[in-house]
Structure 1
């Protein structure tokens, strides 16, 4: 079942405001349990975990910054106000 545009906007906000900080805390906690690995290993783990969270949520965030494609009242053919 595909999510509507409004549902994706709501979920993306929840994920960014609540989920991502919880994920960061969980990653730091796990890294602290592992002890202090060499700095390069630690950097690679943090970079990997920093990218890992986005892959399963890619479809939620895709197109969120665009205008609502289902909104017929949205006039997308207006002239550019800067010109």
Structure 2
């Protein structure tokens, strides 16, 4: 069984990838399957692809319930870099 946890989009690259941050940290994901994603949006990621966008209030509620149940850790600390010139893979 797979448990999908909402992740927040931190940065979007021109090549259709994004840096997403969830309770377990940051990772690079693909936005190829979901249109209209913006920095600050919450998404569900499956196999490295964003597949659903969530309202912020809904995502925060889900994250709080998962933390309460012990199924998700506290939010990962934000990367110290606010912006970057690197290209996401």
TM-score normalised by the chain length of structure 2 = 0.23
> Higher strand share goes to which structure?
2
Larger Rg: 1
More helix by share: 1
Higher relative contact order (CA 8 A, sep 6+): 1
